Amino acid sequence: MSVNTTLAGRIAVITGASSGLGAATAKRLAADGAKVALLARRADRLEVLAKEIEAEGGTALAIEADVTDATAMRAAAERVRTELGTADLLFNNAGVMLPAPIDERRTDQWQQQIDVNIGGLLNAIDAFVPQLVAAAAEKGVADLINTSSIAAQGVFPGFAVYCGSKAFVTHTSKNLRADLGPKQVRVSAVEPGLVSTELQGHVTDESANAWLDGVRQQLTWLEPEDIAAAVAYLAAQPARVNIQQITVMPTGQAS
């Protein structure tokens, strides 16, 4: 990693930082000069990632925290403020995808997706928005970047609850701009198409796995670094510019 100064002076928080989009984005933001706080449940992975970032000249703080635990998220926010400084960028990224036909009534998986993709998103917002607002007042800009999905726009058999949870992310992000934009906090939703991450490894439904495997053979999926580049691009814009939504698709994916 070659550290530059594109995001020098920024203090970025990444949820879901132990793998996939979160880990790649943490590396990218650190490479661009930001201090990064890494939040996830898997502390061992966070420690490895933090050491990798520090070995390349970056600054990283690993914090074990579950986004579904509002108290833990508030405690994590206090650690960030105390040990790194006031956060001015939140990549609100933790999520889970558990498709299954709706008539199978997998209410346990429905609830898990609601708890993480919606509840976890809001817990992170609750914990860190006060810091974003304070940082924006001091620096003139701060960023709240939420991970949504192309699923927010589409219709995919078996993915109803996941799609609904991501539609919540995209629409809520647009509405948050009405509250936070006047306070110089930019809000953006990133909607990735198919990306090669651990997300697919959590899928238990056979038909969904068969579909995902088939699509993987038909086209080249995005890599986590592609989304990391999009997040860095959003954060590097002049303070007057808020790109409210960005959809990043594999070239071969039509919808």
Give the C-alpha separation, 253 to 249, whole Å. 6
CA atoms lying within 13 Å on the CB side of residue 111: 4
Is residue 162 among the annotated active site residues? yes
Contacts of residue 206, Cβ cutoff 8 Å, sequence gap at least 6: none
Cα–Cα distance list, 46 to 28, 67, 78 (Å): 15, 15, 18
Residue type, 8: A
Question: Among 117, 46, 31, which residue's Cα sits nearest to residue 79?
Answer: 46
Taking the C-alpha atoms of 62, 66, 71 and 77 in order, what is their torsion angle to the nearest 10 degrees?
30
User: Which one is catalytic: 91, 110, 159, 162?
Assistant: 162
Question: CA-CA distance, 165 to 160, in Å (whole number)?
Answer: 9
Concatenate the DSSP letters of all residues of 67-116 into one string: TT-HHHHHHHHHHHHHHT-S--EEEE---------GGG--HHHHHHHIII
Q: Angle 143-174-136 (CA atoms, 0-180°, nearest 5)?
A: 25
What 3-state DSSP class applies to 14?
strand
CA 28 to CA 69: how far, in whole Å? Answer: 27
> Looking at the annotation, which residues are catalytic?
162
